[in-house]
Amino acid sequence: MNERLLAYYDDKLATLKSKHNYRSFANINHRKRYISIDGGERLLNLASNDYMGMARDEALHDEFMQTVEHDKLPFASSSSRLLTGNFEIFDEFEWQLQQLFGRACLLFNSGYHANVGILPALCDGRTVIIADKLVHASMIDGMRLAAQNGTKTVRYQHQNLPQLAKLLDKYQQDDGIDRIIVATESIFSMDGDVTDLAALVRLKRCHDKVMLYVDEAHAVGVRGERGLGCAEEFAVIDEIDFIVGAFGKAVASMGGYVICHKIMREFLINTMRPLIFSTALPPVCVAWTQFVFSKLIHMNHERQKLMTLSQQVAATIRRAGLPCPSASQIVPVILGDNQRTLDAAAMLRQAGFYAMAVRPPTVPQNQSRLRLCLSADLGQQELDDVLQVVSGVINAAP
C-alpha cells in the first residue's frame, strides 16, 4: 500500500494511543470461568456475557452433541434463507419461540443484524425514531441507515421518560409524521440499569402513532420467570411491538430474533436487507440455541441467584461511595478518568480478576468505568473475593 496513504491511518492510530483509546486483540485461553491472557496468570473472567454459565458448561455441550443428527443439522446453511438456506430447524425454533412469547418470531444472524436491519426497514420520511441517548451502537447504526430514507431521528436523555413524553406529544400532533418508533434497551449494556417498560407502555397507550422497539440482548435468559426478558418480568410482552434479542450472551450461542406481529414478520422478510442478503446461520448453531433455550426456560432459581449476587456487588460499590446505576448483572464501577480506570483494571488483574475498562467513545466522556459482568455460576468464595477487591479498588483510587 502507498506509504503516504498508510501514514494517514498510522497517525490516527497514534492519536488513539495518546488518548488511551487504542484497542487490540489479546490471546485468550479459556478454562471455564477463568481465562489467561497472553500466557499470563489465571484470572476470574468478569468480562464475559455468559451470564448463566451455559457457554462454559461442558456437560451441556456433551449432552447436545449426542442429540445432533449430522444429516439434518449441517455446519453451514450455504445461502440466505430466501434461497436454499432455510432448514427445518429455523422454522421449528421460530415456532417454539412463537409459542413462548405468544407472537410471531423471526431469527437473524446476530443482534447487530437485527438492529441494523429492522429499523431502516420500518422507516420512511413520515417516520420518526426517538431513542434513548445510550442505546447500543447497533441501534445507532440502524438509525443512521434509516436517516438515509429521510427518517427523522431524535434522542432523549438516558431514561428521561418525562422528556420522552413531551417528544411524543409533539410528534403525535405533527401532520408530517405518521409513525413514531421509540427505541430503547431493557437492560442497558454499559450502566446495567433497567428501563421501566410498564411506564413506556403507558406512554404508548396515550399516543396511537407509537410503536415500541425494545432491545433485550442483555435480558433474555436472565430476566422473567421463563427467561423471556424484562418484557416478561413487567408483564408487557403483548404490548411491546418489537422485542429484539440476541443469543450471544446468556443463551450461549450466536444469532438474534424479533418478536412481533405476523404481518410485521412477513414485511421484514420482504424488506430487511441483512436478512435477505446474508447467508443464514449454520443449522447446527440454531439447534444449539434451541437446546440451550429449552434449558433456560426452567432456570428461574439460577436467575434469582444471579439477581441476588448482582445486588450485593452494587451495594458494595455504593457503600464505598460511588453511585451505581445497576439493577442487573452488569455492574459498572464508574471512576470517570481514563487513566484511573486503566489503573483500577490493572489492580484487579493483579488480584486475579479480569474486568473490562470501558472508555469513550463506548461510554460518554468522563464516565470511564470498570464493567463487571456477573454470572449465575459464581461461587460464594469467588463472590466474596470480588466484593473485597472492588472495595479495595475504589478506596485506592485518587
Interface positions with ligand PMP (CB under 6 A)? 110-112, 115, 136, 138, 185, 189, 215, 217-218, 246, 248, 256
Per the CB < 8 A criterion, the answer to whether 255 and 110 are in contact is yes
Rank residues 183 and 333 by Cβ distance to ligand PMP and give the closer one.
183
Rank residues 101 and 108 by Cβ distance to ligand PMP and give the closer one.
108
Which are the contacts of 393, defined by CB distance < 8 A and separation ≥ 6? Answer: 333, 344, 347, 348, 370
CB of 248 to ligand PMP, least distance (A): 4
CB of 362 to ligand PMP, least distance (A): 10
Do β-strands 127-132 and 152-156 pair in parallel, antiparallel, or remain unpaired? parallel
Per the CB < 8 A criterion, the answer to whether 182 and 212 are in contact is yes
Query: What is the C-alpha to C-alpha distance for residues 140 and 389, in angstroms, rounded to an integer?
Result: 35
Rank residues 215 and 241 by Cβ distance to ligand PMP and give the closer one.
215
Rank residues 108 and 234 by Cβ distance to ligand PMP and give the closer one.
108
Residue nearest to ligand PMP (CB): 111
Grid cell in block for residue 315: 451495594
- Report CA torsion sign: 284, 289, 293, 296: positive
CB of 256 to ligand PMP, least distance (A): 5
Rank residues 306 and 393 by Cβ distance to ligand PMP and give the closer one.
306
How remote is the C-alpha of 113 from its chain's centroid? Answer: 12
CB of 98 to ligand PMP, least distance (A): 20
Rank residues 222 and 393 by Cβ distance to ligand PMP and give the closer one.
222
* 3-state DSSP assignment of residue 144: helix
CB of 317 to ligand PMP, least distance (A): 21
Residue 157 CB neighbour total at 10 angstroms: 12
Rank residues 229 and 256 by Cβ distance to ligand PMP and give the closer one.
256
Strands (E) across 71-161 are located at 104-108, 127-132, 152-156
CB of 139 to ligand PMP, least distance (A): 7
To 10 degrees, the CA torsion angle through 154, 158, 163, 164? 60
Query: What is the C-alpha to C-alpha distance for residues 258 and 214, in angstroms, rounded to an integer?
Result: 10
CB of 202 to ligand PMP, least distance (A): 23
Which among 289, 305, 311, 378 is positioned nearest to 107, based on CA atoms? 289
CB of 188 to ligand PMP, least distance (A): 8
Rank residues 48 and 189 by Cβ distance to ligand PMP and give the closer one.
189
- Bridge partners, residue 370, by sequence: 333, 357
